[in-house]
Amino acid sequence: MRMKGKNVIVTGGASGIGLASVERCLEEGASVVIADLEGGEGAARAAALDGRYAGRCLFKACDVTDTAQVDRLFAETVDELGGVDAVFNNAGIGGIAPSDEVSDDDFLRVIDINLNGVFRVARAALRVMYRQGSGSIVNCASILGMMGQSQTAAYTAAKGGVVNMTRTLGIEAAPKGVRVNAIGPGYIDTPLLAALDDELLQGLISLHPMARLGRPEEVANAFLFLASDEASFITGTTLMVDGGFTAGKS
């Protein structure tokens, strides 16, 4: 069990990639905090998993745009579990609109959640992990952190920032025993994509050389690897989990 005895926080852990990552960590022996918005499915998800995994899953309400809530998440986790060994900095939102039509408020909201929120969580994690002298932070970037796409100016700006911030944090944290990496998912088969009409869905599939969408558990497996001791000499990098999307066109 690769994560036995480890304590893990997953932001945006109530659904999709986040929930798949929570389950993989539990399967591998970790205690896991699902951090997600108050009033969503997080508490129910944690309760169900806690029953299946011997009291190793709990829920903490956290809005990553609120520094006080982020700092409280880490303080409470340390108090209850004793430390934080790994963090999946996964909370985020999408945003599609022509750039000339995007309002300041909409642009800044995407940035605040997808970039500033990632920084707030990473900063809180670093403070805990520096005291411990160990830990692994994995930020969720995107294929759109590596390339552009029309009508996604805010999202690509945020995810590109996550990729480069990961490099900087990896350099800073390395001498203190902490690793910082990122994952760049392609289009993943989640209920959000299932709502698309078939023509658009097939168009997305065709963009991946592997000719299919990714599965949440495939991204979760990448997180598990980077969070574990198996990735002990890896820091400051972004691991693409994209079916060859960013490799180029055949």
Q: Which tens digit of pLDDT belongs to each residue from 186-213?
A: 999 987 787 778 898 898 899 899 999 9
Instruction: Give the orientation angle of helix 16-27 with respect to helix 42-52, to 10 degrees.
Output: 20
Mean pLDDT, residues 147-157 taken together: 95
CA distance 206 to 186: 12
Q: What is the mean pLDDT of residues 156-178?
A: 98
pTM for the structure as a whole: 0.96
Tens digit of pLDDT for each residue in 45-54? Answer: 999 999 999 9
> Does the pLDDT value for residue 22 go beyond 80?
yes
Per-residue pLDDT tens digits for 60-71: 999 999 999 999
Q: Which helix (H) or strand (E) holds 72?
A: helix 67-81
| Amino acid at residue number 81 | L
The number of C-alpha atoms within 13 Å of 13 and in the hemisphere containing its C-beta is 31
Q: Which of 53, 130, 155, 187 is catalytic?
A: 155
Given the structure tokens 């029953």, which residue do they identify?
A: 51
Q: Specify burial of residue 52 (Cβ count, 10 A radius: 0-12, 13-18, 19+).
A: exposed
**Over residues 152-171, mean pLDDT:** 98
Q: Is 155 a known active-site residue?
A: yes
CATH of region 7-241? 3.40.50.720
